[in-house]
Amino acid sequence: MAHTTETKVLTVPIPLLLADKVDHLAASLGCSQGWIIQQALTAWIEQEEERETA
């Protein structure tokens, strides 16, 4: 997926348990919550695109 400087903010409610896991991962990796979520979303989209072409 190409990196761009343009962004769009998405607001999505997520369960507290999942939010806590994101918080802990971000703290342990020294990165932002947004980065964790972006990585997860990117991986999921790539997986779905591969599944669609299979």
**Does 8 fall in a domain?**
no
Q: Give residue-wise pLDDT tens across range 29-51.
A: 999 999 999 999 999 999 999 99
Residue 21 lies in a domain: yes
Residue 2 has pLDDT above 80, yes or no: no
Question: What pTM does this model have?
Answer: 0.80
Tally of domains within the chain:
1
Domain presence at residue 2: no
Residue 48 lies in a domain: yes
Name the residue range of residue 47's domain.
16-53
pLDDT at 3: 66
32 in any annotated domain: yes
Any residues with CB less than 8 A from the CB of 25 and at least 6 apart, and which?
Answer: 36
Stretch 6-25: mean pLDDT: 96
**Domain assignment present for 1:** no
